[in-house]
Structure 1
Amino acid sequence: MIPMKKMKNESGWAELGLNFSLARTTSSSAKAEKTVENKIETDDDNFELFDAKSRKTKDLSGILEACRPTKAAELSVSKQKQNEIVEWLTSEATTGRSRILLLSGTSGSGKTIALKVLAEEYDFNVIEWISPIDSAYSNDIKYLNQNDKFVEFLVRVTRYNSVFGRSRKRLLLVKDIPNIYFMDTNGFHEVLRQYMKLGRQPLVFVCADSESSRMMYSLFPPEIVEELEIDRINIPSTTPTAMKNMLKRISKILNAKFGDLIDVTQSVIDEVLSNSIGDVRSTILNTIFASLKVSNDGSKNDCGSREESLGLLHGIGRVINPKRIVDGNKWKFTHDPDDIAAYFRSQSRIFFQFSAGKLFEYNGED
């Protein structure tokens, strides 16, 4: 770590009031610091191709990971928007100074994965900011709030190279801006100004269109965008043609690697496409849900395998967003939870896994 005194002489980051010379005296704190450093050093692993055979269990995260595109030709983002991202990445290298990009677009349009894939092809190591959960440290260790942690992240990444990996260009990705900055926009703007002066890597903020108005007019007002020359690229919803090509690609992967759980047929693809609204992530999830094989436990069921697969989607909806009937001062669920549980008894494990995954998405995952 660079001592505080030296930072005051060499770096304007110290003006933000963050002391990076904290004494880590406890074993738990040292372990936490090592974990943070390892996270930064091993982000190259995010781009490794998922091998389903190496997993003992085939959970939802593994299935989704197998569907991730690994090259530009597999992206659902239009070629024009890919070229805009590539032009921004390459121009950053030629200008020799740090730049900031605001990458916006509809939820599930594939903007984040497009940035990661294209950055990898141009030899960038994408390092993503993950919002930590504030927790109490020991009394002899200074407590770092969200602002301090975010600034520390910027300093670590822009100043220190990994000693384990080969030297690569780095790109900072921020999808989850610390909530503290929505209450202290001036503090956020000062961090951006300091980064433009002292940062060495391109910095990308990703936001969905539903969040754009709040982010654009509070965190990125016109005067700040002009002052810092912040660039913006907007990714539109995926076109039906691109969505169809994407489903053809992932159907082969799902049938080949997860054939014991999933059977993606052309009829499933056609039905999912007919209900698609340009959201790639949602379309993939719907395809997986609709293609699940139903366990044959000998029990009688009024629905065939196709209808029961669609029933899984409906059941998840009734769990995440249940309807209620109000009767005076009382209320009850429209659909009895016991009936839902009984209907999916033969698929209880799958139903639980997908309900949990859908719940995280429902709560705002980008």
Structure 2
Amino acid sequence: MSNFSAKHQLSKMTKWVTPAFDIGENSANNQPTPKSQKRNLSSAFGNHQNINEPEFNNSAFQSQVVKRSHVDNILMWTDKYSPSSQYDLAVHKKKIQELETWLKNNLSGKKPAPVLLLTGPAGVGKTTALRVLAKELKCQIQEWVNPITATFNPDSTMISHSGGSSYQSQKNLFHDFILRANKYGSLDIFGGDHYEKKLVLVEDYPNIFFWNPSTLHEIVRKYMATGSSPLVFIISDSTHGNSNEKLLFPKDFQDDLSIEHISFNPVALTILIKVLTRIATQESMKGPYNFAVPSKMTLKSLAMSSNGDVRGAINALQFACLKV
């Protein structure tokens, strides 16, 4: 690239960057920024409006967001404030106690192997609660994750790979994982905690089970007959009317195998507001950015619009506070 071309591109980049964020000098020549060049959050993501979008208190967000320290990447608050104990969980105490009681009663290696179905809306803390309680009970979790390198063909018994090699069918992969997880512990190569107690977690389901749920039922029956570690299935409620719970775990199947069912409710509004208030206050005081804490009414509106989804509410709070 010629020197003239490089300078021309650099000039174009400089003119774009400055008005896009509307900070510091308006331009290299100190000229007013045209209104057509100013962009806000809504224009950056389109002019979509949600019916339940909270009416934020603008006065709480008009102050400038100032960086206290150099930060290359913004850590998601959902990860930064992930619960480390059951007292940090934004879940109703009765549900925590119900799940904890089931784990305590079934981690002793009973036969037939106990099976739990854990359901509820997305983002209410089902998986988080299970992980926190398992850690407190010194229980290792072995989780099935769908392979992403293979291409699924429902009409074939094999999974083909772009490189030409063949893989086992999804059913066989899942079947082998379940039986091996029951016999062997996971290989700890990073020096983490190792516990003798163990449970098997399934939250990611092979596509073949949605085509033919009976294949899943066969594997569960075999596991219960040969296994001893608890087997936990987690399913989030669908917002589109199609219930994966009813498809994969019909009531007669649950009754036939005595599968325990624990259902989480949406997080209570008061609990969610407390969580958002605590996170916003702590980030404003000690986080890498200095910003104004949203008002109580703003936090309440934000919590109400999330419909009990803790993860979604915390993400929305971070975007609002940091103006990202």
Cα pair 2:124 2:264 within 8 Å, conserved: yes
1:107 alignment counterpart: 122
1:137–1:161 Cα change, 3 Å: farther
1:137–1:195 Cα change, 3 Å: farther
Highest Rg: 1 or 2? 2
TM-score (norm 2): 0.66
Cα pair 1:106 1:235 within 8 Å, conserved: yes
1:111 and 1:274 map into 2 onto residues whose CA distance is 20
Cα pair 1:66 1:253 within 8 Å, conserved: no
| 1:89 lines up with 2:103 in the alignment | yes
1:257 and 1:148 map into 2 onto residues whose CA distance is 50
Please give the root-mean-square deviation of Cα atoms over the aligned residues, in Å: 2.6
Say which SS state the counterpart of residue 167 (structure 2) adopts.
coil
Q: Which runs of 5+ in 1 are unaligned?
A: 1-54, 293-308, 310-349, 351-366
Higher helix share: 1
Q: Deviations over 1:129-187 (max 9, x none)?
A: 21112421766x64122212211221221111246453431122111211101112221
2:39 alignment counterpart: none
2:269 alignment counterpart: 240
1:128 alignment counterpart: 143
1:167–1:77 Cα change, 3 Å: closer
Number of aligned pairs? 238
1:119–1:291 Cα change, 3 Å: same
2:108 and 2:185 map into 1 onto residues whose CA distance is 21
1:74–1:261 Cα change, 3 Å: same
Letter in 2 for 1:65: D
2:63 alignment counterpart: none
1:7 alignment counterpart: none
Q: CA deviation at 1:94?
A: 4.4
Q: Which runs of 5+ in 2 are unaligned?
A: 1-69, 151-160
**Percent identity over the alignment?**
32
Say which SS state the counterpart of residue 102 (structure 1) adopts.
strand
Q: CA deviation at 1:251?
A: 2.4
1:290 and 1:163 map into 2 onto residues whose CA distance is 41
Q: CA deviation at 1:274?
A: 4.7
2:244 alignment counterpart: 215
1:44 alignment counterpart: none
Q: CA deviation at 1:113?
A: 0.7
Q: Deviations over 1:188-218 (max 9, x none)?
A: 1110111101122111111122179633333
1:154–1:262 Cα change, 3 Å: farther
1:182 alignment counterpart: 210
Say which SS state the counterpart of residue 210 (structure 1) adopts.
coil
Q: Deviations over 1:204-237 (max 9, x none)?
A: 1111221796333332122221221111001001
Which one of the candidate residues 146, 156, 164 is aligned to 2:170?
146
| 1:254 lines up with 2:283 in the alignment | yes
Q: Which is worse superposed, 87-96 or 256-265?
A: 256-265
Q: Deviations over 1:285-308 (max 9, x none)?
A: 11111101xxxxxxxxxxxxxxxx
1:163–1:184 Cα change, 3 Å: closer
Letter in 2 for 1:154: I
